[in-house]
Structure 1
Amino acid sequence: MRLPLQGELVDYQLVGTPVAHGTYEPARSRLAFAAAHVVADPLGDNSPGAPAVIDWEHTLGFRRHLWSLGLSVAEAMDTAQRGMGLDWVATQELIRRSAAEAPDGRIAVGVGTDQLTAGQHSLEAVTAAYEEQLAVAEGVGAQPILMASRALCAAASGPDDYRKVYDNLLAQSTKPVVLHWLGSMFDPALDGYWGSDDLDTAADVVVDLIAENTAKVDGIKVSLLDAAKEVALRNRLPEGVRLYTGDDFNYPELIRGDEDRHSDALLGIFAAIAPAAAAALKALDDGDLTRYDEIFAPTVPLARHIFSAPTPYYKTGIAFLAWLNGFQPGFGMVGGLQTGRSVPHLAETFRLADQAGVLTDPELATQRFRLLLATHGIDA
């Protein structure tokens, strides 16, 4: 076929061999969560600013696919378009439906403050919003992930305000939570989270918070796209507290780890490369590091492209690949976010997905992408 790459149509022959499908048991050596997206109902009004209308059959079907591969699901995270099309009403139903189907409790749930309207809010209001969402997560028996909050970032005047809110929430939680540090490249409204623009100073705040609440903190999910910063933080965590990598650029080396420690995984890219992730983790369990590297290496260029700037629109690439692979009937997203990436960007996503072996049915993927190109006036 012909792909629109670098301003011209380029002849392209698919070259990848799809990663073998199969079912897997959860990995023994690492905890691995895939942050799953939501499928928009093609009959719903999912225009920008409208309440989300979700295709529940395909949304839950995609989660069953992830569970069948041995992955756990990180539900209602930013990959599910929290703060970018998925409203709190739809989020609650998503949490309840997904938790009801999760096998062996293999689900963690994003707890945030996005039911608050845009604008300035008091710390008390922010805390109350977190508490409302924490109650929903605990009510379905899911592990809470205390998501980074735009409202808290706007309300806090310094590290002490973050400590006040998080200490309060941790005191209330009935099970250990996962903290969440999302860098400003994912959400500019989170710049200066933990009370400082300096990452090392911010890390000091986080380490102190965890050290004083170790019984209530299972781990921290870090998405800074900076492997050195993640390793430095990982090495400072108290024994038994996990570092869940959210680094969609450097995940193979961080999950593999070093002689001291390793990172577990809570990644949006795992939704796009789920069969490869499952196979790589199986190889790691088996001690076959050569195979681990062989499987993961070709997925990294794809991940770096999907999560390229402007990074918040990585969600478009996740939904695009789900559509190509037959997990949803159309390439639509809540909030109309399917327009978040250009056709040339999607063409490069297609090419890199083929080379990574994550187009599970290349014939179907090619057929569907040809249809999309045709709607944009491109004869592929």
Structure 2
Amino acid sequence: MRHLLLIILSLLAFEAGAQNLLVNGGFEDENICTEYKHNCAPEAWIANSFYANYYYYTPGQAYKGTHFVGLASGTAYQKGVHNFIRTKLLSGLQPGHQYEIQFFVRSRHDILDSVGVYFTTTDFLYEKRRHNELSPQLWATDALDTLYEDPSLWQKVRLHYTATGNEQYITIGCFNRREYRFRGMPDFNRDYYFFLDEVTMKPLDPAEQLSAQADSVKAEIYNENERHEYLRRQIYVRSKTPPPPTILPITVMRIGLPPAPLQRIDTLVIPDIFFATASYQLTDRSHSTLDSFVNQLQGYTIDSIVVEGHTDSVGKLAYNEALSRNRAGAVKDRLAAGLAPKQLPFVARGYAYLKPIASNRTPAGRQQNRRVEIYVYRKEE
């Protein structure tokens, strides 16, 4: 059996002092709308909802502070109702550079796998296509430890994005391509929500800084006070004749700062045949492969190890989620035993059939999709 061993170089260093490209990501600054003179929305962020149904002031329930956002991902008695929230970046991005997007989410519905991050050149508010026709560049599920959590607990999402240089706006929402069957009482009125808080976006390279015009861009963003009916009228006019996109001044590189150190990502794919049929029990053959992989890692400084389990589309989602999660856990346990006594941060995730690499319509494709992927992040020697 061929073993797929990939070594990928990626800029993954992150400085806590890196400058945030987003303003008011904690939603603490309140916008006073032009129409009702009321603090019914966060500054800098505008949702495609025309109602005061997405901004929450609930001390003790926010991840941090007192404010957070709730975005509808479906509604009772009607299909296709989704809310998104967007903001403008403070600076344009450097093509090919990497950025870290971080935020916190929670929901009592199994919809977090469809929460996406969508970068656009033009304002998302004037987008004419439906949400199920759009493909966000990043998905929250790629960074969640599990798709199911206590709904009172916030889950951290941390994603890396490689810029094209055309990004002006960032939008977050539920981009699912199918309508979920929600159960139980709606979260607000007839709507079912996921909740969002503490959104940040920072360059991975500490030498990359905001442009000199960032303060004036922030002032322009904060001056957007149209909400409700005024916003509806504005969208109606501008969706017919969209304004030309404004070009943001791009970030600048500070001279004298050291470049971001490289990390290596060692990736091993464990195929389905290394497990007992429809089970998460590892076969003897898999032990030698995993032990060999562990031996290659001896002597390296390892930052973290992520193990992700995947299945084909045969069977129910809940069954496949459990199987993929248990297979990832079995591989993690074998690796941890071989790397002992090192204390390493391990993450094991199960994605069921939500991240296929081949078509599930053929036996060969389904076999490719049944896999466990291991990502080992270690410092470059």
TM-score class normalised by the smaller sequence: under 0.3
TM-score when normalising by structure 1: 0.24
TM-score when normalising by structure 2: 0.24
Higher strand share: 2
Higher helix share: 1
